[in-house]
Amino acid sequence: MITLKDLNKRFGEIEVFKKVNLSIKEGEFISLLGPSGCGKSTLINIISGLDKADGGNVIIDNEEIHGTNVDRIMVFQNAALFPWMNVYQNVAFGLKNICKDSKEIKRKVDQVLRKVHLSKFKTHYPHELSGGMKQRVSIARSLVMDPKVLLMDEPFSALDEQTRMLLHHELQQIWMETGKTIIFVTHNIREAVKLSDRVIVMGIRPGGIIEDIKIDMHHPRKNTDPNLFSQEEKVYKVLKGEIEKVVREEMGNEYKFEKDPIPFEHSNTMGGGI
C-alpha cells in the first residue's frame, strides 16, 4: 500500500501542487494524467525519493520513505543505457551492486530478457537497437531489481505509434505476470485508459488531484476495444477544463476554445501531447 498524505511542493514562487492525497493498493496500475506543468513528474519523483516534498508524507507499507530505495525503481522517458555495455551488461549493472552470485545474476537477467523478448539480442549494443528495444532494455533493467513499485515517467512518449502499441501490450503482460504496483505518468488519454486500473487526473498550478477515475475493463486491453472510447470520453470531460486553463494562460482570454477539439473516434489516440 502506498499512501500520499497532504503532499505540497513549490519551486521558488511557483506552487506546483498542494494537499495531494492518494492511496494505491499493492498490484494496482495507476496513471497520472494532466496538462504540462501540473506536477505529474514532480509527484512521481517524490514517490521515488529523487525529490523531496515541502510538506506531507509518502508512506509505503506503513513506513514513511526518506530518499531512494531499490523497492522503488524509475523508468525514464530516455532509456539512458550505457553505450559501451551490451544488453546483458546494461540489465545486470544495478543487480551486481546487490548480488555477488554470478550464477544468480545470470539466472535473473536471462529471466527478465525472456520476459521483454530480448534474449536473442543480449550481446547487442545500444546503437544496434531500435528505440522500442532500448526502452525494453530499460524496463528489464528495472524489473531485474525486483522492486515493489515500478515508476514510469512518460516512458513511451518519444516512440512512434506502432512501437508504442507493441510496448503497451508487453507492459500489460509484464504487469499481469509480475503483479507489480505501477505508477505511470502520461499526457495521452488513450494510453492512460488502455493501461490503467485508475486514471488520476491532475489540475494545473497550484495542482492537485481533481478526479480519480476507475477504468473497469479486463486486461489485456486492445485499441480496437469499443469500450475504450467511452472510458476516454469520460476522462476527457474531466480533463477538458484544465486544458482550457492552460490554453488561456498561454494565449490569453481572447482565445476561443473549440467545443470538441478532439474528435471522438475509436481509431484516435486521444490527448497525445497535451
> Over the stretch 90-128, which tens digit does the pLDDT of each residue have?
999 999 988 888 899 999 999 999 999 999 999 999 999
Angle (nearest 5°) at CA 164 between 159 and 165: 160
C-alpha grid cell for residue 259? 467545443
Could you tell me where the beta strands, DSSP code E, fall in the chain? Answer: 2-11, 14-24, 29-33, 55-60, 63-64, 72-75, 149-153, 181-186, 198-203, 208-214
- 168 phi and psi angles, rounded to 5 deg: -60, -45
- Fold adopted by 1-64+180-274: Rossmann fold (3.40.50)
Edge-first strand listing for the sheet containing 2-11: 14-24, 2-11, 55-60, 63-64
Instruction: Please check the confidence at residue 262 and state whether its pLDDT lies above 90.
Output: no
Using DSSP, state whether 208 is helix, strand or coil.
strand
Query: Hey, what's the torsion of the CAs at 216, 217, 222, 224, to 10 degrees?
Result: -80
Of residues 183, 157, 190, the one with CA closest to residue 264:
190
- What are the domain boundaries of the chain? 1-64+180-274
> What value does the mean pLDDT take over residues 17-25?
92
Burial class (CB in 10 A: 0-12, 13-18, 19+), 156: buried
The answer to whether 51 and 45 are in contact (CB under 8 A) is yes
pLDDT bin (cut points 50, 70, 90) of residue 225 is confident
Instruction: Please check the confidence at residue 55 and state whether its pLDDT lies above 70.
Output: yes
Query: Which of the residue ranges 89-93, 164-168, 218-222 has the most confident prediction, judged by mean pLDDT?
Result: 89-93
The answer to whether 184 and 154 are in contact (CB under 8 A) is no
The amino acid that residue 233 corresponds to is E
Burial class (CB in 10 A: 0-12, 13-18, 19+), 100: exposed
Distance CA 167, CA 155 (A): 10
pLDDT bin (cut points 50, 70, 90) of residue 185 is very high
Per-residue pLDDT, 158: 84
Instruction: Please check the confidence at residue 266 and state whether its pLDDT lies above 50.
Output: no
> What value does the mean pLDDT take over residues 171-185?
94
Angle (nearest 5°) at CA 160 between 262 and 108: 125
